[in-house]
Structure 1
Amino acid sequence: MRWNDLKIGKKMMLGFGIIFFLLVVVSGWSFLGLGNLLREGIEVAGGNALRGELLQREVDHLNWAKKVAAYVYDDNVRELEVQLDHTKCGFGKWYYGEGRNEAEALLPLLREPLAELAEPHQKLHESAGKIKEALARKESPDGRQQAQRIYATDTQVNLATVQGLLDKMTGMAKDNILSEEQMIQTVKRTRLTIVSLAIMALLLGVSFAWFITRSIVRPIVTCVEAVHQIAAGNTEVQLDTTVRDETGMLQAGMAQMVTAIRAMTKDADQLSKAAQEGKLTVRADAAKHQGDFRKIIEGINSTISRLVMLLDNMPAPAMIIDTDFTIHYMNELGAKVGGKTPAQLLGTKCYDHFKTSDCRTDKCACGQAMRNGQEANGVTDAHPAVGVDLDISYAATPLRDEQGKVVGAAEWVCDQTEVKKAAR
């Protein structure tokens, strides 16, 4: 279905639907963007906490090792003040508690190094216990040497392993978990995307609104202009009747109205032209028209008929001819003097009816009126029928069309027979 075939209501619904869809797209993208930012914020917070935890445990184990070294090498240190249970130190509580599970959930890559960390971490704390036992045996002269050997072979080796794994996990967390700088860049990209989508949606919405409004308003403006032209008497208007919406229906209705007006105008012009040419028997077919248009044509027909009735009731012969002297109208009395009816005389020559001495001569008043373009008078005799001999005076008036061209003449006859007889 073409766009122009859609009803105005459907066009408006489609327009609002498109705008609503654009709003949904922008809102949905904004919601997803904010959701991503929230998840990334949680990830950044978790990553910072994890890195902080791992760094802190590195420092804790270094401090732990320093205390063990002081206990081994410093004669002034009499007590080993470190945690010997690997599950109860700060890292042990984190490792064997929820901290490890949360770290693995945040970064699954940590599972392997965390698993590797269990044994060296346990041995690290066990080495401190062995050192304490070695130094506690006072009867053994080589207790300190044994403690130093344990520190060098067990404690430092396992400490290096633990520190290496913690450092490795810190690097993995840094490389695989969003940093604050990365999150800021994500925020900027999300903001730019949302703003861009909003601007695009606004432009598209305005464009669709303009297009839909134009498709509705433009035909209405055309109709208004056509109405003004028709009101001014101009029926040569251009209307688009191919559109199927309400504006198209309106234009189609106006086109029908214009057609009816043109038909009425054509018939009125035909009657006017016929009257100018003296063809007073011409009538328009009022049945072709409807409503008031029909009344107008019937009124014009009636007006001409009344005029003809007045001419028919004149007490003197009257006729209308064209430039070829062909009779277009003859009143009742004019036909009666020759023993004929007006209908019988239509289309015949006037000189074949009245048969005056002036006929077909320069004395003919009708001929003079048509040649000179002004009224002419004459006195002559007429013989319209066998045994009918009349003395007449007559006058002729030229008939002109809309351009002023002479197209015929009207003649009025006065019977002077009785007057002439009385004078003789």
Structure 2
Amino acid sequence: MRKSIIWLVGVRVAAALLSVLLFSGVTTANIIRVKNTQNENAGINAVLNRAQAAEAAHYKWSGNLSNALYAGTEFTGSTDPTTCVLGQWLYGEAGTEDAEILALREKMEPLHKQLHESAVHALDLLSANAPEAQAYYQDTISANLTTLVGLLDEVVERGTVLNEDSMAHMNGLIRTMHVLCVICLILALACLISLVWYVFTRVVKPIILITNSSRPLQEGNLELTFAYHSKNELGDLVNTLEKSMDLIHSYVEDLNRIMSQLAQGNFDVATSAPFIGDFKSIETSLDSLTATLSGTISNIYHAEQKVSGHAEQLSSGAQQLSQGATEQA
């Protein structure tokens, strides 16, 4: 099965990038979750602070009203249920989505309104009948205040539980974030190490091996031996080099054979196989050379034959002249 270097390197690079993106995504998501938990915790703390402040304020409000009814001092508290700390919370934003706290808030609203309105009634009774106003304070206002404070205590208890749960949830998120970040970091490092290892062992090292195996070529040695073979791009490169060297070697042997035949006087020679590519010009030049040499030698041979024929004629004529001279003498 062919294993492409480009594909395998691409897979490792993609895995490394995905690991980094996963690490970033997990970290960002956990930071957002922690921030949301902090905001929720801040809202719960605000509710707790308001409930505790409301208890203290209404105890002070009750003491102020008691002094006005029993000691005749001026009542400086508020009779408007919307202006006190608790009223601002009851008629404003709840600051939480907890169903139990919202239910307690609904219970407190009419009771709180009645408590402030009862102060007006008690002060009106004070001018007409102080004992009745004091009795009204003890029987109605104190009872309503006790009930209201009890509800506020429930809000504080519930808020404390929610605060503890929120802190535990936040700590759990932080631990989870640490674990996930470590896992993603290890995964990213593993992908990067795998990428570096693959590039070094499957790309760099084979290239060095192929380069060293090709060095004899610069010294004119065509007998190359490659120890690397693989079904990838570098394996294709080695196969191409081997086939190219075999082809060039066959051309060299063919040229040696032709030159040997020419040295022996045989000019009727040709390449054993057609040359290809840029070597085609060598074949053409070689064919032209052999044809020219063959023609030249043929012309020399014919000239020699003619000279030999003329020499024989001259020799025969000389013999006849010599014979004629002898006969005349």
| TM-score bucket (shorter structure) | 0.5 to 0.7
Instruction: Tell me which residue corresponds to 2:104.
Output: 113
1:174 Cα deviation from its structure 2 partner: 2.4
Q: Distance in 2 between matches of 1:5 and 1:183?
A: 47
1:161 Cα deviation from its structure 2 partner: 1.8
More helix by share: 2
The one of 215, 236, 259 equivalent to 1:249 is 236
1:28 Cα deviation from its structure 2 partner: 1.7
Instruction: Tell me which residue corresponds to 2:89.
Output: 94
Q: Distance in 1 between matches of 2:240 and 2:61?
A: 99
Instruction: Tell me which residue corresponds to 1:128.
Output: 119
Instruction: Tell me which residue corresponds to 1:197.
Output: 184
Identity %, equivalent residues: 20
1:208 Cα deviation from its structure 2 partner: 2.1
User: Structure 1 residues 241 and 261 mapped into 2: Cα distance closer, same or farther (>3 Å)?
Assistant: farther
The one of 38, 50, 54 equivalent to 1:53 is 50
Greater RCO, 1 or 2 (C-alpha within 8 Å, sep 6+) = 2
User: Structure 1 residues 156 and 171 mapped into 2: Cα distance closer, same or farther (>3 Å)?
Assistant: same
Q: Which amino acid aligns with 2:240?
A: G
Checking the alignment, whether the CA contact within 8 Å between 2:210 and 2:226 is kept in structure 1 is no
User: Structure 1 residues 239 and 80 mapped into 2: Cα distance closer, same or farther (>3 Å)?
Assistant: closer
1:16 Cα deviation from its structure 2 partner: 3.5
1:147 Cα deviation from its structure 2 partner: 2.8
Alignment of 1:259-270 (within 5 A): 259-260=246-247
Larger Rg: 1
User: Structure 1 residues 170 and 189 mapped into 2: Cα distance closer, same or farther (>3 Å)?
Assistant: same
The one of 200, 206, 210 equivalent to 1:219 is 206
User: Structure 1 residues 212 and 235 mapped into 2: Cα distance closer, same or farther (>3 Å)?
Assistant: closer
Instruction: Tell me which residue corresponds to 1:26.
Output: 23
1:210 matched to 2:207? The reply is no
Q: Give TM-score scaled by structure 1 length.
A: 0.53
1:137 Cα deviation from its structure 2 partner: 0.8
> Aligned to 2:83, what secondary structure does the other structure show?
coil
User: Structure 1 residues 117 and 164 mapped into 2: Cα distance closer, same or farther (>3 Å)?
Assistant: same
Alignment of 1:317-328 (within 5 A): none
Q: Which amino acid aligns with 1:117?
A: M
Checking the alignment, whether the CA contact within 8 Å between 1:54 and 1:166 is kept in structure 2 is yes
Q: Which amino acid aligns with 1:120?
A: L
Q: Distance in 1 between matches of 2:227 and 2:273?
A: 24
1:83 matched to 2:74? The reply is no
Instruction: Tell me which residue corresponds to 1:161.
Output: 147
Checking the alignment, whether the CA contact within 8 Å between 1:123 and 1:154 is kept in structure 2 is no
Q: Which amino acid aligns with 1:17?
A: A
User: Structure 1 residues 202 and 241 mapped into 2: Cα distance closer, same or farther (>3 Å)?
Assistant: closer
1:83 Cα deviation from its structure 2 partner: 1.8
- Comparing 255-264 with 158-167, greater Cα deviation is found at 255-264
| Cα-Cα RMSD | 4.0
Q: Give TM-score scaled by structure 2 length.
A: 0.67
In the alignment of these two chains, the number of paired residues is: 275
Checking the alignment, whether the CA contact within 8 Å between 1:44 and 1:183 is kept in structure 2 is no
1:5 matched to 2:14? The reply is no
User: Structure 1 residues 5 and 183 mapped into 2: Cα distance closer, same or farther (>3 Å)?
Assistant: closer
Instruction: Tell me which residue corresponds to 1:151.
Output: 137
Q: Which amino acid aligns with 1:67?
A: N
Instruction: Tell me which residue corresponds to 2:297.
Output: none
1:172 Cα deviation from its structure 2 partner: 2.1
Instruction: Tell me which residue corresponds to 1:314.
Output: none
Checking the alignment, whether the CA contact within 8 Å between 1:226 and 1:237 is kept in structure 2 is yes
Instruction: Tell me which residue corresponds to 2:295.
Output: none
Q: Distance in 1 between matches of 2:272 and 2:150?
A: 110
Q: Which amino acid aligns with 1:219?
A: P
User: Structure 1 residues 266 and 235 mapped into 2: Cα distance closer, same or farther (>3 Å)?
Assistant: farther
Checking the alignment, whether the CA contact within 8 Å between 2:223 and 2:245 is kept in structure 1 is no
**Unpaired segments of 5 or more residues in structure 1?**
272-280, 303-424
Checking the alignment, whether the CA contact within 8 Å between 1:37 and 1:186 is kept in structure 2 is yes
1:263 Cα deviation from its structure 2 partner: 5.9
**Unpaired segments of 5 or more residues in structure 2?**
258-265, 291-329
> Aligned to 1:242, what secondary structure does the other structure show?
coil
Q: Distance in 1 between matches of 2:244 and 2:180?
A: 55
Task: Output one character per residue of 1:289-325: Cα deviation in whole Å (capped at 9) or x when no partner.
Answer: 8477x98xx9xxx9xxxxxxxxxxxxxxxxxxxxxxx
Q: Distance in 1 between matches of 2:172 and 2:252?
A: 77
Task: Output one character per residue of 1:261-281: Cα deviation in whole Å (capped at 9) or x when no partner.
Answer: 77679999xx9xxxxxxxxx9
Alignment of 1:287-302 (within 5 A): 287-288=272-273, 290=275
The one of 36, 50, 59 equivalent to 1:62 is 59
Checking the alignment, whether the CA contact within 8 Å between 2:67 and 2:73 is kept in structure 1 is no
1:52 Cα deviation from its structure 2 partner: 0.8
Checking the alignment, whether the CA contact within 8 Å between 1:15 and 1:212 is kept in structure 2 is no
1:153 Cα deviation from its structure 2 partner: 2.5
